[in-house]
Amino acid sequence: MRWQANSSVTETLIKNLMIKILPILLSLFLVTGCSRYSMQELRISLETGNYEEAYAELKKNAQKKAELPLLFELGMVAHYANHFMDSNETLGQAEEIADELYTKSLSKEALSLVTSDLAKPYAVKKYERLLSYYYQILNYYYLNQLSGALVECRQATNLIEYYKGEGDDYDFFGSGFVAYLCGMIFEAAGEWNDAFISYRQAEVNYRNSLEKAGVPIPEYLGDSLVRVARKLGFTEEAADYQALYGALPEYPENYGELILFYESGYVPQKDKVTLTFPILKTDEFGEEHEAEAKKFVPTLLEREGRTYPDVELEYLLHIEMPTYHSNRPQLTGIKVQVGEMIEQGHLVEDVEQIAIETLNTEYTVVLFRTLVRALLKYLVTREVDKKSEVLGLLANLVNIITEKADTRSWVTLPNQIFMVRMSLPEGTHTVGLSFLNGNGGIGLRERLGDVEISSNRITLLNYRTYK
């Protein structure tokens, strides 16, 4: 009798200790992992123009463990810190890792079946890979290595072709913008035929993604198509494009072109939402086989958020799912002034929209997988609980703690990208930038001095605001 009393006390103590210690430890591992860096601190450094500090901090973390999406963040911050070569090396390394992800690790897949999707390497998004080319192309351009930028363009073009070949459900997110940028680089290098193909692909890609991405074909693209078709002597195509997009503006011989990309704000960071699915005492499923659990998922989906009387309830299954909340910046447009000339920016990439749409596309599959996993974990817990209350409690705790939403993504990407193209006379110019807020008023002014324009050449620039 005395022993039973003491045994019960021990069990209570173990329970209490488990409740207090294990959640803290497991949470610590899951939240921090091996590569810890504070996005909050990073954002503060970026917003205050402290790129070097942000770069040094991220680099320190990446040296501990080079993984995605950290390498994307590092590559982009290196770009803003003017470490263009380092940025290219890092983004190139990120590309290699993304390629290697085709081979799935069975051990990590198996671990993810009993823990969460966080156990798997980050499943890089197609639009993220394409946007990494945007920064690599700019890096090579700023390094005055047009041949390097051309190589990146060929790789990006090849990647888009690969995505298109994967299946009819390719969303074309980001591919219009990257193909358009590649067209500009090919054109700058005098590779007229490649430029023409890229511009044509950009037109098609923008059209194919319009419904979900919401970005129409930039009107400058029509000019590019007419201009390059003429250079190639494709008179029929030039006439067709001119009929579609209008006549090409004529400029004197000693004019060059300023192409400015304005990147505004931040893409939203993935958040998590907890969903609750009631399991009833009358439910019979998955006692023996995983297949039965899978069959039960549709029934469970219909019950999401519903309430049942306590007497009918056996268990409330909680899962975490990733979600996005819009994070539109205050500044959502740009006007560029050079002397008397004023040009308004055109939206060429809506990163927020494509991030949200990408998650929407994946959502059903992720939800199904998460529910099956949670169900199986619950079944194991129930079995264990029958044998030992302490172990059952431990298993339940582990389930709750490990069932985390995969909220990883490339979070320092801009929210939107605008483009301004201006034909300017050869020489050095001061460029006035007026950033527009939601109602079209000017929210911020900046000035870029000493912008060099060369005759019959393009000058590329990119500018970022975080407001």
**Helix/strand/coil for 421:** strand
Residue numbers 325-354 binding other proteins by CB under 8 A: none
Between 41 and 96, whose beta carbon lies closer to other proteins? 96
* 36 binding other proteins? (CB under 8 A): no
* 437 binding other proteins? (CB under 8 A): no
Out of 82, 134, 139, 165, the residue judged to bind other proteins by CB under 8 A = 165
The count of residues interacting with other proteins (CB under 8 A) is: 35
* 105 binding other proteins? (CB under 8 A): yes
Between 159 and 351, whose beta carbon lies closer to other proteins? 159
Closest separation between CB of residue 146 and other proteins, Å?
Answer: 11
Query: Per DSSP, what are the bridge partners of residue 447?
Result: 432
What is the spatial order of strands in the sheet that 458-465 belongs to?
Answer: 346-350, 416-425, 255-264, 458-465
Between 13 and 244, whose beta carbon lies closer to other proteins? 13
Query: Are 199 and 224 a contacting pair, CB within 8 Å?
Result: yes
Between 18 and 380, whose beta carbon lies closer to other proteins? 18
CA distance 443 to 330: 8
* 388 binding other proteins? (CB under 8 A): no
Closest separation between CB of residue 148 and other proteins, Å?
Answer: 6
* 284 binding other proteins? (CB under 8 A): no
CA distance 351 to 127: 8
* Torsional sign, CA 199, 200, 203, 204: negative
Closest separation between CB of residue 155 and other proteins, Å?
Answer: 5
Closest separation between CB of residue 123 and other proteins, Å?
Answer: 15
Q: Which of 246, 458, 230, 273 is nearest to 370 (CA)?
A: 273
* 155 binding other proteins? (CB under 8 A): yes
CA distance 353 to 171: 12
Out of 27, 162, 363, 445, the residue judged to bind other proteins by CB under 8 A = 162
Using a CB cutoff of 8 Å and minimum separation of 24, what contacts does 15-18 make? 15/390, 15/393, 18/390, 18/393, 18/394, 18/397
Query: Per DSSP, what are the bridge partners of residue 317?
Result: 277
Site string for other proteins, 46-75 (x = CB under 8 A): ------------------xx----------
Label residue 434 left, alpha or beta by phi (over 0 means left) and psi (-120 to 50 means alpha): beta
Closest separation between CB of residue 241 and other proteins, Å?
Answer: 26
Distance (Å) of CA 294 to CA 14, 321, 422: 35, 18, 57
Out of 4, 40, 144, 147, the residue judged to bind other proteins by CB under 8 A = 147
CA distance 53 to 57: 6
* 6 binding other proteins? (CB under 8 A): yes
The type of residue at 138 is L
Residue 111's contacts (CB-CB under 8 Å, 6 or more residues apart) are 119, 120
Query: Are 269 and 418 a contacting pair, CB within 8 Å?
Result: no
Q: Which of 292, 380, 304 is nearest to 113 (CA)?
A: 380
Query: Are 194 and 186 a contacting pair, CB within 8 Å?
Result: yes
How many CA atoms, within 13 angstroms, populate the side-chain half-sphere of residue 50?
A: 11
Out of 69, 75, 148, 265, the residue judged to bind other proteins by CB under 8 A = 148
* 123 binding other proteins? (CB under 8 A): no
Closest separation between CB of residue 79 and other proteins, Å?
Answer: 17
Closest separation between CB of residue 67 and other proteins, Å?
Answer: 11
Closest separation between CB of residue 219 and other proteins, Å?
Answer: 30
Closest separation between CB of residue 3 and other proteins, Å?
Answer: 9
**By CB under 8 A, which span of 78-86, 148-156, 241-249, 372-380 interacts with other proteins?**
148-156
Q: Which of 217, 326, 203, 343 is nearest to 269 (CA)?
A: 326
**By CB under 8 A, which span of 47-55, 98-106, 359-367, 452-460 interacts with other proteins?**
98-106
Out of 4, 102, 167, 306, the residue judged to bind other proteins by CB under 8 A = 102
Out of 25, 31, 247, 442, the residue judged to bind other proteins by CB under 8 A = 25
Q: What is the CB neighbour count within 10 angstroms for residue 262?
A: 25
* 93 binding other proteins? (CB under 8 A): no
Out of 43, 59, 120, 154, the residue judged to bind other proteins by CB under 8 A = 154
**Helix/strand/coil for 350:** strand
Closest separation between CB of residue 56 and other proteins, Å?
Answer: 21
What one-character DSSP code corresponds to residue 300?
H
Residues binding other proteins (CB under 8 A) = 6, 9-10, 13-14, 17-18, 21-22, 25, 29, 33-34, 64-65, 96, 99-100, 102-107, 109, 147-148, 150-151, 154-155, 157-158, 162, 165
